[in-house]
Chain A
Amino acid sequence: MNGARRSPLFLPLIYVGGSIFGFGLAISGMARPEVVLDFLQFEDLGLLFVMGGAAVVTGITFAVATRGDHVAPLTGSSYTRRVKALDRNVVLGGSIFGVGWGLSGICPGAAYASVGIGNYPILWAVAGMFLGAYAQGYWRSLRSTDTEPVTETPSD
């Protein structure tokens, strides 16, 4: 993702992709915390089709694109899969995420989409997410100056 090699179409394309992503989240109902909570309380299992349908599309896309030595046209980057190291932070972080998701019914992408459907109370959740991410980063910064530098793990 070398900035100098980015096509002028890079940002417009990201915007279009994000719009499709957000449009899908709005249709699916995931932008409504009530729908997510209904799923988690086993009153409406439709959300399985949101994550499942999306993962099938990305799965096919990743499988096809990583075959051979193609590079992405707008950046020259090679196609990779999203594979991260498994450590206890994955389980700990996933558990904390789960408590938050189960309490509020919101997750990051769905929260942004919720802003788009005019759900202004969701700004409480957006504020909470920024505070949480800040607290986590601040705490980790403190910890990494005390002890050995924390091993960097790729994270997006």
Chain B
Amino acid sequence: MNAFVSLLALGDLFPRGVLPYLIGGLLVGLGAAVIYLATGIIAGASTFLESTLSYVSSVERFNRFKYVDSRGWRLVFTAGIVSGAAVYVLVSGSGIWTTDVQWWRLLGGGFLVGVGTRLGKGCTSGHGVCGVGSLSNTSFVSVATFLAVAIGTAQLVQAVGVVP
């Protein structure tokens, strides 16, 4: 009986099951691993923002060698991410999907993500996947910080009744 109850509780924690998450995660890791093994590059998704800004901005900070040197392959990497997701839509037959989250949440949240990831030296892929995979203390601190703050923020947003 106890085992049954805990199974039910597990079902509550994972209403969509575990498999899509796990397969997705393994593929995200595989994509990063393929690039790393072939090139030695530890790919993160957020430096694309700065390296792409170097094409259009004369601000010195965006035109440092490391951004200008890497902006070409970062564009290709990001194009790969976009098209890989598009291939998923085609092969799964799921059709295109759009969010109901309101535009101001996307814009405002995106802005803070843009500031925070640049100040904090990485994002969910840089720190969360590659940094944690490197057993980097800095990345553990980063992940613990952004997870705790994001959980608090999302709960607060829900508590004040912002939906979607």
Contacts and interface: CB of A to CB of B under 8 A. Distances in A.
B76 A14 contact: yes
Contacts of B126: 82, 156
Specify the main secondary structure of chain B where it touches its partner.
Answer: helix
A1 B60 CA distance: 22
B103 A19 contact: no
A44 B21 CA distance: 11
A99 B33 contact: no
A119 B119 contact: no
B109 A15 contact: no
Interface string A85-119: 11001111111111111111111111111111111
Interface residues of A, number: 123
A23 B151 contact: no
Contacts of B7: none
B122 A14 contact: no
B26 A54 contact: yes
Contacts of A154: 66
A151 interface: no
Interface string A1-24: 101000001110111111111111
Interface in B1-43: 13-18, 20-43
A59 B21 CA distance: 18
Instruction: Place the interface of chain B in its size category.
Output: 35 or more
A93 B118 contact: yes
A24 B125 contact: no
Interface in B125-164: 125-139, 141-143, 145-158, 164
Given A28-B28, A99-B116, A127 B110 contact: yes
A3 B69 contact: yes
A140 B57 CA distance: 14
A77 B16 CA distance: 41
Given A98-B147, A156-B42, A51 B132 contact: yes
Interface of A: 1, 3, 9-11, 13-35, 37, 40-59, 61-62, 65, 71-75, 77-86, 89-122, 124-138, 140-141, 144, 153-156
Interface of B: 13-18, 20-50, 52-53, 57, 59-62, 66, 69-70, 72-73, 76-89, 92, 94-101, 103, 105-139, 141-143, 145-158, 164
17 contacts: A22-B80, A25-B81, A34-B99, A53-B22, A54-B26, A56-B26, A72-B36, A79-B40, A91-B120, A99-B109, A108-B117, A109-B123, A112-B45, A112-B48, A128-B111, A137-B50, A155-B121
Given A18-B81, A127-B107, 20 more contacts: A13-B34, A19-B80, A19-B87, A28-B21, A28-B27, A50-B24, A57-B32, A58-B32, A58-B33, A59-B135, A62-B134, A82-B136, A98-B116, A100-B108, A102-B151, A117-B85, A117-B86, A118-B97, A119-B97, A129-B111
